[in-house]
Structure 1
Amino acid sequence: MSEVPSVSSKAPRAPKSANKTATKAASKRAGAVASGPEASAASAPAAAPAKSAPQKAMERMGLTRDIDLALHLPLRYEDETQITPLAAAHDGDTVQCEGEVIESRIEIRGRRQLLVKLRDDQGGQVQLRFLHFYPAHQKTLAVGARIRARGEIRVGFFGREMVHPSFRKVDEQTPLATSLTPVYPTSAQLPQAYLRKAVASALKRAPLDEVLPPSMIPAGLPSLRETLQFLHHPPPSAGLSTLEDHTHPAWQRLKFEELLAQQLSQQQAQRERAHLRAPVLRGSKGGLHERLLGALPFALTGAQQRVTEEIAADLALPQPMHRLLQGDVGSGKTVVAAIAAAVAMDAGWQCALMAPTEILAEQHFRKLIGWLEPLDVEVAWITGSVKGKARQKMLDAAASGEAKLVVGTHAVIEDKVSFARLGLAIIDEQHRFGVAQRLALRKKLADSLNDDTPGAVPMEPHLLMMSATPIPRTLAMTYFADLAVSTIDELPPGRSPIVTRVFADGRRDEVIEKIAAAVQDGRQVYWVCPLIEESEALDLKNATETHEELSAALHGKSVGLLHGRMPPAEKAAVMALFSSGEMSVLVATTVIEVGVDVPNASLMVIEHAERFGLSQLHQLRGRVGRGSVASVCVLLYTGPLSDTGKSRLRAMAETTDGFEIARRDLDIRGPGEFMGARQSGAQLLRFADLQEDAPLLSAARALAPRLLDDYPQAALRQVERWLGHKTEYLKA
């Protein structure tokens, strides 16, 4: 019950030692202030009161402003507006009853329990059972006390009972609640009663005036104040179904407000970027980019030509490009990035390419070296594994401008790395970098171009982000609303189709036989494991054990092992053997998820496939099918499968289309998990559902520019109310 937290059966109580410690600390602080030689009532500063455990818990949950509490909405509701006679309550019903305690005792039945018998005014009886209780509970639930209790009725061997009901002491005149009782998301240190009072108090103080002009609020929706009052304290007549499925007009108003704030933030970021300067990058006739195109051993697809032109048009503008290049695995994004880099270098500027893993960065490096070194372009290589004189040589080449292209991992943005004239930055698999890394990169890149001249217009390099995880349209309209998006929706010719098979782990021997046959025919095989070494927590086949098993089964064929803990030189040596065809089978962890390109590899086995995410499974599958031979991906799973696991494996078996995979992944995981590190743990959309609320998203997207143009102060207040400090996450 909400009013008396001290008698809730689950209310936490501070240990005596903690109380003593707090008292001593308070006395010590008071003594220190009072005993100083200069101490006086006028001059001594008041010690800041210590924060209680609930206050600290609220801060950890981000509930620091009145508006934060006002927008902290209930998970569900309890109906405490009526009393149900016990005679009318059935097994499994959740009811509120009221009556007199006629028996209260402690029993030992395997464990200490408090048993309380309650009789209502109609003579019905129920036993209240508490497995966790405090002396205060015994006192409140003493014989003769009048109690109002709420819980689920269970009919068992000892008759009717409620286990751990909520309860409070009342009298005949204690009124019933007039609205449904909210149950909020909370933590162990933050009792519901405390949080309910905090929210109710914040609702009175929070600035809930209408920010939006009336003409811009969709017809039929209540005001924001009415919306929040209703959702925190709905009347008994409110339909619980529309409250719980978020279709009630009050929920629609909240979703619209949230989506509008998000769209305003993104579009404002886009407008701010339009006021920045960037180097104008145009390739010259017969210049580097044309020579690169002429030297490539293949022709670009129509989709590659289209996105190359889109990027070139952006680079030729004096405003910084902020573009996402997305394409399915194997669609040829690297060559598009190389052509963009060639345009920048042709214009006399440097380019940096950053990848999330050293293996992926090295794959890029080798490809770019192969294409650009014959054209007399120096490429620098900067990762954590490059040490000593070799590293200093690369740093000097980047700082002097001698290295026109710098390729590496996040080491590219370390403090010691500087550029002479950085005009373009390319980030591959950008969603794999955390928010802090991406914001740091943008600042570093901008710093490399700017000086401290007063009044100078800020300047940023152009930014091209690449992703092999296609972004569904609704996500592109929200989290990437400030980005221009180029899509490669065509695979290069000659790619073989990939057939996906799903096998239970019991057919493991059969799979190994298929591998032996493929190796005998001269094909190469990947076997992917989720762990490196044995784990007591998870009973999974590990990479080292599988490597030994396959080495024994394949009679003298070369079987390699690759995982993230290996020294970089050793990893490079293993990859070189596999790439050259000298190694038949590569047992690896997910370090081969992206970037690895071995056309002769036509079979992949993913062990414990149920443990991987859908996007990761699709990325791994993309390592095969890169040659002209038909390829197979085997998903080995260990049952029983969860519903989510079944959905993932079914999606993999039914389609190889990355865009369809992304759509299903969004359905399964929701936008928060799908976006991963972009939010850095901060959920940017709490109420809106991008699939169900597409009409509201479209309305917010259309309204945002009008609001920015005609009511800029209202737009600013809307963003501040809903997003606060989170606006930086949206820009990353």
Structure 2
Amino acid sequence: MTGRLEEPLAKVLGARTAGSLEKLGLVTVGDLLRHYPRRYGAPGEMTPLAQLREGEHVTVMAQVRTATVRQMRSRGGAMLEAVVTDGRDSLQLTFFAKRAGVLRMHEDKLRPGRRGLFTGTVGEYRGRRQLTHPDYLIVGVDAADEDEAVAEASRPIPLYPAAASVPTWRIGRAVRAVLDPLTEADVPDPLPAELRERRGLPTLLEALRLVHVPETDQDHRRGRERLRFEEALVLQTALARRRADHDALAAVPRPARAGGLVAALDARLPYRLTDGQREVGETIAADLARDTPMLRLLQGDVGAGKTVVALRAMLQVVDAGGQAALLAPTEVLAAQHARSLRALLGPLADGGMLTAADDATRVTLLTGSQGSRERRAALAEAASGAAGIVVGTHALLSETVQFADLGLLVVDEQHRFGVEQRDALRARGERVPHTLVMTATPIPRTVAMTVFGDLETSVLSDRPAGRQETVTHLVPAGNAAWIDRAWARVREEVDRGGRAYVVCPRIDGDTEEEPEELPLDAVEGDAAGAGSDGPARPPLAAVLEVAELLSGHPALAGVGVGVMHGRLAAEDKDAAMARFAAGAAPVLVATTVIEVGVDVPEATAMVVLDAQHFGISQLHQLRGRVGRGDRASICLLVSHAEQGSVAHGRLSALAATTDGFLLAEKDLELRREGDVLGAAQSGGRNSLRLLRVVRDAHVIEDARQEAAALVASDPSLARWPALADAIADSLDRDREEFLSRS
């Protein structure tokens, strides 16, 4: 039997009202009750009318100054002109009708001195701002009786996320229509009664009434506090259940072996491991020795040395008789990883060859673009166990790829993979392989608790010895002298034996295609170039146009210029990277395809064109492609961003520090709250409506502890069916998988 919260709004409110609410994604009674007010207006608090912009859809609180109906001589019919004010500025309201009598109702309600909410699109007529045929609600008048009018005039006014066809007060009336008849039995509470009472929280029904029909400001704050905790508990309980499910799985222990490949690698490394690398390595080694599958997130800022830590883990598994797979998001990065691992291992990677060292293994690359002969050989090495380490892209997920004994899965840049893809590998064998997830995107602890909540987390915070800092400068795009100096600076680096990346948002300037990658953390308005109130700007820089320009630029005369972008075939990408690394084309004009993992130690300069288009984390990743050797490097951010803009603040923050974790915190301060969880909030209903992972860190921590206790007591949540239902409802499988990122 369907509960009251699952009832369609069409059944409760009628087809017409339900149809308008459906435009806001509200279909059931539960959807409508979870459509919380975005803020609350005080009856006496006026909206500053001077801030209104033409074309903007607004809801304003104002006081009626005048309202007059008159006949129109030129076009016939009647017009009502009213003027409302915030006490300083004014706004005109205009209504038209065929007969004056039709407008008398509005004139009667819009009496001078009354206050109301007025909604519509701001227009302009003869130099005056106006709303034409606005919808409105007069405080203390639009009520069922006098008592309700008095109450309405004195309590906070809920202002809902609305649309032009559904003003905020219509949403409010619809909410009251479905909320008022409900009883406690109609509204199952996800919070266990003991927990709720211990924390002094209202029931779900009480909380909904507090946020939708508050008598005081304290009411809606108390209601939102309870609903915020509920969101955190539902999320953290879902993650705690996944942790419990994972802990029940069995894995083959892969203990460290004295005198094996790990020790041989350490002996041949040209540098000493940092204290952080050793400490994290010991933690991972202990995880691998257990019979429960490891599930660990390895965070390391760009250049922190994650690859060596991952390689030592893979070699420990090989020492124990198993295989390791390294899953990379792009073919460029997969090939880069294979080259890097072979270079680090030297003769230790020559298994089966005359040059092999004792106990040597083999590193095999498997990608979708390989020829049939090369692919067959790679498949055979993986299936026979000859390859101790198999590196690949999503091609590793194909059913045709078999492993002799997969013991460890290393996933690089996990956010680029769907969880279903990753699970396809983990589910191959009878026992689940250990899993190490790596990311070079620094994640503040609050976000890690929320998004990677069921992974153990390790952080590499120190930089390997010899790594040089990268100095970052902002270059105003409109200053021709500065731009010329930027290209001269690139030439200086090339003449000293360096390499230079030039990054563009687009591939081809002749087309209207979207940029190859739009960052989640670029702020709306800034990302597009000109703001809503700024001058028109030239089109975003395109790889092919910029490469042609630089090939003929006097400062770069005689310098080879290559290109790299996502449309190139795999062999062309490899050739471009090889020419760049060798110095045949020491300037590489590229899209963000070079953002992650590309490792050319000779690269000492980077120029990012239209840098205002990118977000902090993406720019930080791009900057991490230089400064990977023992020479000082430079990063030039060429930008149209104006002083004082959000984009300029973002770029200034990047220029001020190379600390990725500081930048990640700054990033969260600057960008919209809705982007914090990225794709988890795209499409469908967003499971986090009130909870904010930065602001509400203490709430998340409390909920995490409560969730762990609940799942430890009853992993199936059979004692708390409403909590289990809430998890199933607000975190469908895809979103739950995304949030866990395991």
Q: Which residue of 2 aligns with 1:596?
A: 598
Q: Residues 475 and 680 from structure 1, CA distance in 2 versus in 1: closer, same or farther, beyond 3 angstroms?
A: same
Q: Residues 115 and 159 from structure 1, CA distance in 2 versus in 1: closer, same or farther, beyond 3 angstroms?
A: farther
Question: What's the CA shift for 1:364?
Answer: 0.4
Contact 2:331-2:367 at 8 Å conserved across structures: yes
Match of 2:421 among 420, 423, 440: 440
Contact 1:57-1:187 at 8 Å conserved across structures: no
TM-score by structure 1 length? 0.79
Q: Deviations over 1:188-244 (max 9, x none)?
A: 676757754553354345514473234555655443322211211223x537xx96x
Match of 2:191 among 190, 211, 235: 211
Describe how 1:374-523 pairs up with structure 2 within 5 A.
374-375=350-351, 376-433=360-417, 437-442=418-423, 444-450=424-430, 459-505=431-477, 506=479, 507-523=482-498
SS where residue 448 of structure 1 aligns? coil
State the one-letter code of the partner of 2:739: L
Q: Which residue of 2 aligns with 1:693?
A: 696
Identity of aligned residues (%): 38
Q: Which residue of 1 aligns with 2:300?
A: 327
Contact 2:641-2:647 at 8 Å conserved across structures: no
SS where residue 384 of structure 1 aligns? coil
Alpha-carbon separation, structure 2, partners of 1:172 and 1:398: 74
TM-score by structure 2 length? 0.78
Q: Deviations over 1:544-569 (max 9, x none)?
A: 22212222221212221211111111
Question: What's the CA shift for 1:492?
Answer: 0.7
Alpha-carbon separation, structure 2, partners of 1:187 and 1:67: 19
User: Is residue 209 of structure 2 the alignment partner of residue 229 of structure 1?
Assistant: yes
Q: Residues 99 and 541 from structure 1, CA distance in 2 versus in 1: closer, same or farther, beyond 3 angstroms?
A: closer
Alpha-carbon separation, structure 2, partners of 1:405 and 1:648: 40
SS where residue 336 of structure 1 aligns? helix
Q: Which runs of 5+ in 1 are unaligned?
A: 1-47, 451-458
Contact 1:498-1:632 at 8 Å conserved across structures: yes
Q: Residues 140 and 202 from structure 1, CA distance in 2 versus in 1: closer, same or farther, beyond 3 angstroms?
A: farther
Q: Which runs of 5+ in 2 are unaligned?
A: 1-10, 53-59, 85-89, 111-115, 352-359, 513-537
Question: What's the CA shift for 1:52?
Answer: 5.9
SS where residue 618 of structure 1 aligns? helix
User: Is residue 36 of structure 2 the alignment partner of residue 73 of structure 1?
Assistant: yes
Match of 1:116 among 61, 64, 80: 80
Describe how 1:184-199 pairs up with structure 2 within 5 A.
184-186=160-162, 195-196=171-172, 198-199=174-175
Alpha-carbon separation, structure 2, partners of 1:718 and 1:78: 33
User: Is residue 681 of structure 2 the alignment partner of residue 718 of structure 1?
Assistant: no
Q: Deviations over 1:324-374 (max 9, x none)?
A: 001010111111111111122222222211111221111101112332523
SS where residue 449 of structure 1 aligns? coil
SS where residue 410 of structure 2 aligns? strand
Alpha-carbon separation, structure 2, partners of 1:113 and 1:439: 64
Q: Residues 438 and 671 from structure 1, CA distance in 2 versus in 1: closer, same or farther, beyond 3 angstroms?
A: farther
Contact 1:101-1:141 at 8 Å conserved across structures: no
State the one-letter code of the partner of 2:610: H
Alpha-carbon separation, structure 2, partners of 1:218 and 1:651: 43
Q: Which residue of 1 aligns with 2:357?
A: none
Alpha-carbon separation, structure 2, partners of 1:705 and 1:173: 48
Match of 1:615 among 617, 622, 627: 617
User: Is residue 93 of structure 2 the alignment partner of residue 128 of structure 1?
Assistant: yes
Question: What's the CA shift for 1:645?
Answer: 0.5
Q: Which residue of 2 aligns with 1:41?
A: none
Q: Residues 138 and 624 from structure 1, CA distance in 2 versus in 1: closer, same or farther, beyond 3 angstroms?
A: farther
Alpha-carbon separation, structure 1, partners of 2:143 and 2:434: 73
Contact 2:470-2:635 at 8 Å conserved across structures: yes
SS where residue 706 of structure 2 aligns? helix
State the one-letter code of the partner of 1:519: V
Alpha-carbon separation, structure 1, partners of 2:22 and 2:143: 39
Alpha-carbon separation, structure 2, partners of 1:275 and 1:216: 29
Question: What's the CA shift for 1:98?
Answer: 11
Contact 1:308-1:336 at 8 Å conserved across structures: yes
State the one-letter code of the partner of 1:704: A
State the one-letter code of the partner of 2:650: R
Contact 2:612-2:639 at 8 Å conserved across structures: yes
User: Is residue 260 of structure 2 the alignment partner of residue 287 of structure 1?
Assistant: yes
SS where residue 571 of structure 1 aligns? helix
Q: Residues 74 and 157 from structure 1, CA distance in 2 versus in 1: closer, same or farther, beyond 3 angstroms?
A: same
Contact 1:259-1:697 at 8 Å conserved across structures: yes
Describe how 1:172-183 pairs up with structure 2 within 5 A.
177=149, 178-179=151-152, 182-183=158-159
SS where residue 407 of structure 1 aligns? strand
Alpha-carbon separation, structure 2, partners of 1:649 and 1:97: 46
Question: What's the CA shift for 1:416?
Answer: 3.5
SS where residue 285 of structure 2 aligns? helix
Contact 1:222-1:253 at 8 Å conserved across structures: yes
Q: Residues 566 and 173 from structure 1, CA distance in 2 versus in 1: closer, same or farther, beyond 3 angstroms?
A: closer
Match of 2:248 among 252, 270, 275: 275
Q: Residues 347 and 83 from structure 1, CA distance in 2 versus in 1: closer, same or farther, beyond 3 angstroms?
A: closer
Contact 1:604-1:624 at 8 Å conserved across structures: yes
Contact 1:527-1:606 at 8 Å conserved across structures: yes
Count of aligned residue pairs for this structure pair:
649
Q: Residues 671 and 312 from structure 1, CA distance in 2 versus in 1: closer, same or farther, beyond 3 angstroms?
A: farther
**Which of 374-383 and 255-264 deviates more?**
374-383
Contact 1:103-1:143 at 8 Å conserved across structures: no
Match of 1:148 among 109, 130, 148: 109
Alpha-carbon separation, structure 2, partners of 1:119 and 1:654: 50
State the one-letter code of the partner of 2:62: V
SS where residue 74 of structure 1 aligns? coil
Alpha-carbon separation, structure 1, partners of 2:244 and 2:650: 39
Match of 2:286 among 310, 313, 317: 313
Alpha-carbon separation, structure 2, partners of 1:673 and 1:358: 28
Match of 1:651 among 638, 650, 653: 653
CA RMSD, aligned part only?
A: 3.9
**Which of 480-489 and 99-108 deviates more?**
99-108
SS where residue 443 of structure 2 aligns? coil
Contact 1:355-1:427 at 8 Å conserved across structures: yes
Q: Residues 588 and 75 from structure 1, CA distance in 2 versus in 1: closer, same or farther, beyond 3 angstroms?
A: same
State the one-letter code of the partner of 1:551: S
Match of 2:338 among 365, 369, 376: 365
Question: What's the CA shift for 1:400?
Answer: 4.0
State the one-letter code of the partner of 2:573: K
